[in-house]
Amino acid sequence: MAQSGLQVAGRQVELGAPKALAVGVSEVFWHPEGLALVYYAKDSDGTFLGVYSQNTDKTKAVMRFEEGTNVHFEAWLPKQPVYLIATSRPIPGREMKHWSLTTIDARTLSAKEVWSNDYANSADVGIEVNASPSLDHAIVTVTDPEGRHPIVLLDGAVSAVYSRDVAAAWALGSSFAGWSVDGTAYFSTLRAPPVDQTVVATDDVVSQLQGTFQLRVTVDTGGGTVLSDIPVLSFLVRASPVAPGAGTPVLELMPRNAVLRPVLSRGPFVGPEVLPHVVYPKPEESVVTSLARKDGSGALWLVRLTGDEGQPYGTDGLLIAAEAGKSWMCTDGNWVAYETAGALFIRRITYGGQPFSKALFPRGGG
């Protein structure tokens, strides 16, 4: 592939200078808008999670993983560049595990444990995270031998609290009913409790139950590892219900204090338009080869996607790196990250000097 330049929709595609962020990197997760990224890496002290902020142009290791740590959930929150991660790790010298929910703030390059609890190794414990699609807010369900416990990450992702209202609603048969148009959580209105039970609940509720479908998927690592030696053992994959139409009686979870209040639905959340990528990083055999070379690395090019099933990539392209392993394209189409010999680099992508969405989708992108 010749370095002949790359044009999309009559605009010249350009790559910014490469910037080195870290070494020993094995996996990268971009913030959807390119504001930051987190990465798994390894050094002489073991595996750690690092974060890079576009705003400060700084990188820092913020979270260490002891041997035996499991990751149960991780994702960027939708507004501020905050990464949410749920883990469990053995407690040295004790037959117990430390379960925790941690926020990684790219603005301050810091990690904060917002919820935690210690359980015996023999205890059957699980954690499920249902995050708002538009607020930095989540409902965390912790299951242990005593039952289910609702932990709410309050909007802003600064703290998490136990929600007595949600616990009472669960006891009366209520369930999560979807995310509202504003990104708040709706719960079905309550049914009457069985006659042989006494349940304390909030006032002003009516009898209506809406269900939710939940599927447990177990990922068998077969003794192997992922994410730089951090196993991901299982996730709860939720087919999240769509919030009921406007005017339907529901209970709304207040994202700033975890209190339920009866309201009429304002309608379901409708996500933003996802713009299709028009360029993509593509590996190619190294220009210079050697019979002794067997590391599998090669050149990495930025190429145009044609939409043709038989020939998905155009013949023109821009050289990202002469030698590269993995690569990660940011969702917003403006950044590419790649690994070269264990070192992590990023490069900016522009179209005629403008960001992807503004240049190619002026009406659909910000």
pLDDT tens, residue by residue, 21-48: 999 999 999 999 999 999 999 999 999 9
pLDDT at residue 273 in the model? 73
- pLDDT at site 359: 63
The mean pLDDT of 43-55, rounded to a whole number, is 95
How do residues 327-358 score in pLDDT, each as one tens digit?
A: 999 988 899 999 988 899 999 999 888 887 76
- pLDDT band per the 50, 70, 90 thresholds, residue 73: very high
Say whether pLDDT at 196 is over 60.
no
> Residue 201 pLDDT > 80, yes or no?
no
**Confidence band of 214 (pLDDT split at 50, 70, 90):** very low
pLDDT at 229 over 70: no
Q: What is the pLDDT of residue 126?
A: 96
- pLDDT tens-place string over residues 84-122: 999 999 999 999 999 999 999 999 999 999 999 999 999
Enter the pTM of the model.
0.80
Task: Output the 3-class SS for the chain.
Answer: CCCCECEECCEEEEECCCEEEEECEEEEEECCCCCEEEEEEEECCEEEEEEEECCCCEEEEEEEECCCCEEEEEEECCCCCEEEEEEEEECCCCCEEEEEEEEEECCCCEEEEEEEEEEECCCCCEEEEEECCCCCCEEEEEEECCEEEEEEECCCCCCEEECHHHHHHHHCCCCEEEEECCCCEEECCCCCCCCCCCCCCCCCCCCCCCCCEEEEEECCCCCCCCCCCCCCCEEEEEECCCCCCCCCEEEEECCCCCCEEEEECCCECCCCCCCCCCEEEEEECCCCCCCCCCCCCEEEEEEEECCCCCCCEEEEEEEEEEEECCEEECCCCCEEEEEECCEEEEEEEEECCECHHHHHCCCCCC
- Mean pLDDT, the chain, as a whole number? 82
**In this model, does residue 246 exceed pLDDT 70?**
yes
